[in-house]
Structure 1
């Protein structure tokens, strides 16, 4: 066997163990009894310790040094590139710190959940402060004298910096704020009201998952407090949630997570259990979930079909026709929760978090001041006050599990989705005729071919540029949102 063969065999085993660790995380969110949390923290720490040891194994450096780059084909070269990048980054973080972080963030998840249920930020604040301290230490090790937040971004969106995002988000915010202000002054569409059986919601949500191409033979749909997708390759699971007063929450959370899951399921199987066998970045990942959820799932054509499915599931539910239903699906509502936000206001939620977590990492904002800073910023951006911590600073799980640098990829994914939608619509002029029948396959097949099958083969921005024919920019997204909501609200 060659050095490359030895390296790939070792890497395949490491990737498989990483999938097992991910399954522990899935179980913690869905099936694990509450009393198991302390033991699960120990299990997660043990897994992270073992994975860190494998990812920094000196043999990886020896194999990398022994490989003649000139003998590699493009796929093998990309595999080596990703293995080298992971090895160099992971080697900068002391094993003891990685293990300590894994144990702390596993326990912190349960502490956050209890504080959220009790609406008590002070009960979570000391744990969050400890997470931030360790993440800052990790970031300093990765940055090696550079910007700590930029080092954190590399875990989720390689090649993107905080300055890049600040410029992009700075261009987005005034346009979104102005459009939002105009919408709030206009006549709103009808609002969905009533009670919708949660069992019927779950039945229809599984139908929607299949309609968007989710392979249930390699996945499953469960319920969780915070919807998420987990796994890759042949085992990709999603979760959703139900609310008897808001079936859209269930349906569009499911479609969103199916976008993530379909990406993982559609990666070329030749890359299974290799560094290329997963989504290339969280921004590209989010582009898939958001284009599934919004540009496809909230389109006039698809909501026309969904209106019929809703009538079949729930009978007469108070919305007169397909046009009124389209307005109800896309209605801009006051609210606190990012994951429930309408398409127009969603990015304002993300921009708030981006600014706050950068300030936390730089030390410009202390955890003791975080709740007040959140509430002040929210009222300035949305025009009304946060009523309780579970609707404010405690609503998201991300910071409890150490995902600093993750939030901005949500809006970056929306930007990518805007570019992809523009290209997809140009390539598929008859797409709406299929969507009106509940057939998403022309769109999902196009995305599968142009984005998903490549996995980690290309750099994130290269994936979007190859698929859309243009360098990523906020222009297509802002144009799409302005056109859509101007039409719905008559402005």
Structure 2
């Protein structure tokens, strides 16, 4: 390996370490930071982003890239990631990058207060500012091309809006047809009662460990919006509790553990290199969704979970494991994406995907966003949004400037469908293991076939190598139609 490659990697490791520090500031802001620190934190985030941006576009990187003589797949993959980051950073003015970091840091607090007060008008001016900055960034990155496609590369390299639109177009009619059949059938009972929130957190930590989350390199905290942060040997997750809905806590945790396990299980040799983190948000989401849904909401695992729920909360009114399975997977009306059932979840995502494309291309103004959201929601779900916190204010993503992110949720579901089909073939005794609360074969297969590789391969290649075939929406649709057809006797 050349001296230029060694110097480049040493510089990159320092940049990656600084990026981890920036991420920890974001985790702190969402969990334990005092409210009065928001303005100061904005300046701190802006300052560290300015340093990171300067490092990412340091002219020495170009020289090192030209002189590097990589040997082997790992070195070539590192250079691919570094070159992509360097070219991106070189197109975005440093003052724009810093202003985006400052603005989105403040925007999160303004969004949270507006959400609590159900007041979209209080958030709209801030969202307009965030949107304007991201449009500028997208236009700089696109260099005359499609700004939304350029932003999408931050989350799913190689994806295009048109390609995703075609995939989502194939999903939509079958999801709507399945939803309509289900809503016309007899529904399982809903969960009722109150559930001690301390007991929820105790059970959720047990489940996190059960799914392979290494608590010696992580922690579980509470936040308004559950998330995972960090990589390598410091990967933290958050969840939330509700006294009337323990599933929100438990399944938010399993979902975030899927993200965290991916990061924790990447080959330690890749630590603080471009290969040492998940390759894309779509692949990341495939892990969280297969953990949460195909494993966590399976009939087999629900049998084990039913026993744990009775131990934690006593008699909660559902004695039969099959009835409990139906309750866990109950298709129901609701406004909140993160609380949606598997059948309707992707319809929530497609709404956001379509609206944010219009926001970026300028065919939808922030002033008209709330009404556009409510109109689209009513058309998709058959009832109108009752308040902003159940509609346009429910997600933090746009406050954080994450335009282009939402599409990766559905793409992750598509990937998860493909992985689940292959996992079933590879581990024929899977149900028997899950029924005893043993996830090691499933999580071990995902670790060995996908997670350990980190950023070694491109996103679609990562899925295709694990599955043995190019990903498409077919396995997900077949899984949903089979599972819910049985639950609802369709």
TM-score bracket relative to the smaller structure: over 0.9
Aligned to 1:49: 50
Aligned to 1:227: 226
Alpha-carbon distance between aligned partners in 2 of 1:3 and 1:42, rounded to the nearest angstrom: 35
Residue 65 of structure 1 and its aligned partner are, at CA, apart by: 1.1
Alpha-carbon distance between aligned partners in 1 of 2:433 and 2:466, rounded to the nearest angstrom: 21
Alpha-carbon distance between aligned partners in 1 of 2:317 and 2:85, rounded to the nearest angstrom: 53
Residue 333 of structure 1 and its aligned partner are, at CA, apart by: 1.1
- 1:264-315 deviation line (CA, Å, top 9, x unaligned): 0000000000000000000000000000000000000000000000010011
**SS of the residue 2:236 aligns to:** strand
Aligned to 1:328: 327
**SS of the residue 1:222 aligns to:** strand
Note the 1:172-251 alignment, pairs <5 A: 172-251=171-250
Matched, 1:17 2:18: yes
Residue 57 of structure 1 and its aligned partner are, at CA, apart by: 0.6
Matched, 1:319 2:318: yes
Alpha-carbon distance between aligned partners in 1 of 2:319 and 2:235, rounded to the nearest angstrom: 38
- 1:165-189 deviation line (CA, Å, top 9, x unaligned): 1000001011000100000000001
TM-score by length of 1: 0.99
- 1:122-166 deviation line (CA, Å, top 9, x unaligned): 110011011111100000000011111100110000000000010
Alpha-carbon distance between aligned partners in 1 of 2:125 and 2:80, rounded to the nearest angstrom: 39
Note the 1:380-459 alignment, pairs <5 A: 380-459=379-458
Aligned to 1:140: 139
Residue 227 of structure 1 and its aligned partner are, at CA, apart by: 0.0
Note the 1:103-114 alignment, pairs <5 A: 103-114=102-113
- 1:76-121 deviation line (CA, Å, top 9, x unaligned): 1111111011101111000000001100000001111111011000
Structure 1 stretches of 4+ with a deviation exceeding 3 A read none
Aligned to 1:153: 152
Aligned to 1:82: 81
What are structure 1's unaligned runs of at least 5 residues? none
Alpha-carbon distance between aligned partners in 2 of 1:347 and 1:333, rounded to the nearest angstrom: 14
- 1:452-474 deviation line (CA, Å, top 9, x unaligned): 00000000000100111111100
Alpha-carbon distance between aligned partners in 2 of 1:104 and 1:89, rounded to the nearest angstrom: 20
- 1:57-86 deviation line (CA, Å, top 9, x unaligned): 1111111111134xx111111111110111
Alpha-carbon distance between aligned partners in 1 of 2:347 and 2:152, rounded to the nearest angstrom: 19
What are structure 2's unaligned runs of at least 5 residues? none
**SS of the residue 1:456 aligns to:** coil
**SS of the residue 2:47 aligns to:** helix
Residue 320 of structure 1 and its aligned partner are, at CA, apart by: 2.0
Alpha-carbon distance between aligned partners in 2 of 1:296 and 1:68, rounded to the nearest angstrom: 44
Aligned to 2:38: 37
Aligned to 2:66: 65
Alpha-carbon distance between aligned partners in 2 of 1:323 and 1:396, rounded to the nearest angstrom: 33
Alpha-carbon distance between aligned partners in 1 of 2:158 and 2:54, rounded to the nearest angstrom: 26
- 1:439-488 deviation line (CA, Å, top 9, x unaligned): 00000000000110000000000010011111110000000000011100
- 1:337-386 deviation line (CA, Å, top 9, x unaligned): 00011111100000000000000001010000000000000000011110
Aligned to 1:346: 345
Residue 429 of structure 1 and its aligned partner are, at CA, apart by: 0.6
Residue 254 of structure 1 and its aligned partner are, at CA, apart by: 0.1
Residue 48 of structure 1 and its aligned partner are, at CA, apart by: 0.2
**SS of the residue 1:22 aligns to:** helix
Indicate the RMSD between aligned Cα atoms, in angstroms.
Answer: 0.6
Alpha-carbon distance between aligned partners in 1 of 2:129 and 2:236, rounded to the nearest angstrom: 31
Alpha-carbon distance between aligned partners in 2 of 1:91 and 1:289, rounded to the nearest angstrom: 33
